[in-house]
C-alpha cells in the first residue's frame, strides 16, 4: 500500500504503520474522532495537492483550474443540499479557521461576542484568551445551569440584554444535549445580534435530521468535516445568500491563501456519502449506542453529567469514584481505550487535571460495534478504573481489549507490507 513512501522515507513510513496498528488495536472513544472511509483518504492522496487555486470556481488567480473548479462546485452543491443551505464555502482548513472567517466577516476588533464558556463545553475558538477570538474580541461567556447542567436560556437572554453583543455563538465541544436554536434566534433578534452556530460536533446528526438544523435559524453555520460528518480533516461555512460575498472574502484573501484542493475533493466525496440513506442509519446508531453507553455507565454508579445524552457524546463525573479525569484517561490508555479528560460544569479542578472524561460513540459505531459490544467496553472501563494501581490486572485487561476490538476489523483494504 505504501511502497513508494517506504522507499523514500522509511522513518515516517514506520511511524505511520505504528499509528495504523494503534488505531486498529485501540477502542476509540474520543468524541471528536472518527474513521474516514478509505475512498475519502484516497482522495486526500491525489495530484490535486499540487494545484494552486486562489479564489473561487470561475474566478481564480491562477490558470489550469478547470478540473479543480469542477471538484469545488461538486463539494459546494452537495453540502448545500445536505444542510439545505443557500451558500457554502468549503475552503476553511479547519473548524477554527471557519470561525475565524465568520468573525472577520462581521466583527471589528473589540466588538462583543457572547459565547459558551470553555469550562462548560465551549471551544477554544469561541473566545479562549490565548486564541485569536479571545485576543481580538470582547468575549462574554454563558455557562450551564448549576442544577440541570443544561443551557439556561433565560440567563443567556439576560447576558445578551446587558452586554449587547454583535455576535452570539451557539455550539459546543462537550455538551451532550440538543441546543434550542429557536430560542437563540429570539435572543439574537431581541438585541440585534448575528447568530453563528458552530455545529462542528453534531453536523452528522443534523445531516441525518436527528438534530435540529441550525441553517433554519442562524445567519452563519460553521462545522468541521471530520467528526460525526466522517469526511477528511477540514472546515466549512454555510450562510444565507446575502452574506455569500462577505464570507468568501473573509476566507480568501481574509484569513487563508490557496485552498487545499485535494482536501476539498475529499470533502466532496464525504458529502456524497453523507447524502446516502445509509449515513442517516449510521447517525441514528451513533446516538442509540451513546444512550445505551451512558445508561450502562450509570448502572455501574458513574454519574453522567445532565443525567444522560441526546447526542453522540456524554460526560462522566468521576468524583464519586475518587479518581481525576487525568488519571482515568491515563489508566484507560494503558488498556488500549482512548478517551479525553474533560472539565465537568463547575469543576473544582483545573483543566489539566479535570474531574471528568468525555466519551463519544462515532468511531466505535463506524467499526460496527453495537449494544453487546458496548456492554463489554463498559466492563473493561470499570474493571480498569477499579484496578488502576494494579499493573498485572491492567495488562490482562489490555490483552482482552485487543482481542475484543479485533472482532471489528478496521481498514481491511489497507494491507500490511
Ligand atoms: C472541533 C471543534 C472546532 C474546531 O476544529 P479544528 O478543526 O480542530 O480547528 C470548532 N468548534 C467546535 C465546537 C469544535 O468542537
CATH hierarchy code of domain 284-405: 3.90.1150.10
CB 109 within 8 A of CB 164: no
* Ligand 1: centre distance to CA 277 (Å): 26
Query: Of residues 24, 25, 33, 54, which has the active-site annotation?
Result: 54
CA gap 158, 163 in Å, rounded: 9
Alpha-carbon torsion (264, 270, 274, 277), positive or negative: positive
pLDDT confidence of residue 301: 96
What does DSSP say about strands 194-198 and 220-224: parallel, antiparallel, or unpaired?
parallel
Ramachandran quadrant class, 62 (left: phi over 0; alpha: psi -120 to 50; beta: rest): beta
Minimum-distance ligand 1 atom for the alpha carbon of 234: 7
Q: Does the Cβ of 165 fall within 6 Å of ligand 1?
A: no
Q: Does the Cβ of 123 fall within 6 Å of ligand 1?
A: yes
Q: Does the Cβ of 309 fall within 6 Å of ligand 1?
A: no
CA gap 122, 136 in Å, rounded: 18
Q: What is the 3-state secondary structure (H, E, C) of the chain?
A: CCHHHHHHCHHHHHHHHHHHHHHHHCEECCCCCCCCCHHHHHHHCCHHHHCCCCEECCEECCCCCHHHHHHHHHHHHHHHHHHCCCEEECCCCCHHHHHHHHHHHHCCCCCEEEEECHHHCCCHHHCCCCCHHHHHCEEEEECECCCCCCECHHHHHHHHHHHCCCEEEECCCCCCCCCCHHHHHHHHHHHCCEEEEECCCCHHHHHCCCCCCHHHCCCEEEEECCCCCCCCCCEEEEECHHHHHHHHHHHHHHHCCCCCHHHHHHHHHHHHHHCCHHHHHHHHHHHHHHHHHHHHHHHCCCEEHHHCCCCCEEEEECHHHCCCHHHHHHHHHHCCEECEEECCCCCCCCCCCCCEEEEECHHHHHCCCCHHHHHHHHHHHHHHHHCCCCHHHHHHHHHHHHHHHCCCCCCCCCCCC
What architecture is domain 41-274?
Answer: 3-Layer(aba) Sandwich (3.40)
Alpha-carbon torsion (274, 278, 280, 283), positive or negative: negative
Told to judge if 183 belongs to the known catalytic residues of this protein, a careful annotator would answer: no
CA 138, distance to chain mean position in Å, is 25
Of the residues 224, 263, 312, 340, which should be mutated to test ligand 1's pocket, given the most ligand atoms within 8 Å of the CB? 224
CA gap 267, 203 in Å, rounded: 13
What lies within 8 Å, CB to CB, of 273 at 6+ separation is 37, 39, 40, 230, 279
Q: Does the Cβ of 201 fall within 6 Å of ligand 1?
A: yes
The grid cell for 85 is: 443551505
* Ligand 1: centre distance to CA 64 (Å): 33
pLDDT confidence of residue 417: 67
pLDDT confidence of residue 131: 92
* Ligand 1: centre distance to CA 42 (Å): 23
Q: Does the Cβ of 32 fall within 6 Å of ligand 1?
A: yes
For residue 3, say if its preceding peptide bond is cis, omega within 30 degrees of 0: no
Domain boundaries, given as residue ranges, for the chain: 41-274, 284-405
The pLDDT averaged over each successive group of 10 residues in the chain (417 residues) is: 90 96 97 98 98 97 97 98 98 98 97 93 91 95 95 97 98 96 98 98 98 98 98 98 97 97 98 98 98 98 97 97 97 97 94 96 98 98 97 98 97 84
CA gap 196, 230 in Å, rounded: 22
Backbone angles phi, psi at 170, to 5 degrees: -115, 145
Enter the pTM of the model.
Answer: 0.97
Told to judge if 52 belongs to the known catalytic residues of this protein, a careful annotator would answer: yes
CA gap 379, 240 in Å, rounded: 47
**How many residues are given for the chain?**
417
Amino acid at each position: 500500500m505504501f511502497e513508494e513512501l517506504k522507499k523514500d522515507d522509511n522513518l515516517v513510513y514506520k511511524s505511520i504503520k505504528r499509528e495504523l496498528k494503534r488505531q486498529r488495536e485501540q477502542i476509540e472513544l474520543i468524541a471528536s474522532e472518527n474513521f474516514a472511509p478509505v475512498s475519502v483518504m484516497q482522495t486526500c492522496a491525489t495530484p490535486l495537492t499540487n494545484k494552486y487555486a486562489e479564489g473561487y470556481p470561475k474566478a481564480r488567480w491562477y490558470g489550469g483550474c478547470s478540473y479543480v473548479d469542477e471538484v469545488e462546485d461538486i463539494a459546494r452543491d452537495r453540502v448545500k443540499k445536505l444542510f439545505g443551505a443557500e451558500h457554502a464555502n468549503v475552503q476553511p482548513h479547519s473548524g477554527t479557521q471557519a470561525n475565524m472567517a465568520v468573525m472577520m466577516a462581521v466583527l471589528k476588533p473589540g466588538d462583543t461576542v457572547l459565547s459558551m464558556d470553555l469550562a462548560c463545553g465551549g471551544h477554544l475558538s469561541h473566545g479562549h484568551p490565548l486564541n485569536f477570538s479571545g485576543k481580538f474580541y470582547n468575549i462574554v461567556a454563558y455557562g450551564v445551569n448549576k442544577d440541570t447542567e443544561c443551557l439556561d436560556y433565560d440567563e443567556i437572554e439576560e447576558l445578551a440584554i446587558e452586554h449587547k453583543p454583535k455576535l452570539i455563538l451557539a455550539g459546543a465541544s462537550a455538551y451532550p444535549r440538543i441546543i434550542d436554536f429557536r430560542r437563540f434566534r429570539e435572543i439574537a433578534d431581541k438585541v440585534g445580534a448575528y447568530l453563528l452556530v458552530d455545529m462542528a460536533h453534531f453536523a452528522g446528526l443534523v445531516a441525518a435530521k436527528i438534530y435540529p438544523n441550525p441553517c433554519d435559524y442562524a445567519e452563519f453555520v460553521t462545522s468541521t468535516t471530520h467528526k460525526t460528518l466522517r469526511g477528511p480533516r477540514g472546515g466549512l461555512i454555510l450562510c444565507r445568500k446575502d452574506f455569500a460575498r462577505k464570507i468568501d472574502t473573509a476566507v480568501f484573501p481574509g484569513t487563508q491563501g490557496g485552498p487545499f484542493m485535494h482536501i476539498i475533493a475529499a470533502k466532496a466525496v464525504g458529502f456524497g456519502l453523507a447524502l446516502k440513506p445509509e449515513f442517516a442509519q449510521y447517525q441514528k446508531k451513533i446516538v442509540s449506542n451513546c444512550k445505551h453507553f451512558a445508561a450502562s455507565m450509570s448502572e455501574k454508579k458513574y454519574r453522567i453529567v445532565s443525567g444522560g445524552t441526546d447526542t453522540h457524546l456524554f460526560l462522566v463525573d468521576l468524583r464519586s469514584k475518587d479518581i481525576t479525569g487525568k488519571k482515568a484517561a491515563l489508566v484507560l490508555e494503558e488498556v488500549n481505550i482512548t478517551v479525553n479528560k474533560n472539565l465537568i460544569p463547575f469543576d473544582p479542578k483545573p483543566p489539566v487535571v479535570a474531574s471528568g472524561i468525555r466519551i463519544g460513540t462515532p468511531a466505535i459505531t463506524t467499526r460496527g460495534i453495537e449494544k453487546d459490544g458496548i456492554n463489554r467496553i463498559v466492563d473493561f472501563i470499570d474493571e480498569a478504573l477499579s484496578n488502576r494501581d494494579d499493573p498485572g490486572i491492567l495488562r490482562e485487561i489490555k490483552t482482552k481489549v485487543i482481542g475484543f476490538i479485533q472482532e471489528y476489523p478496521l481498514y481491511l483494504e489497507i494491507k500490511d507490507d
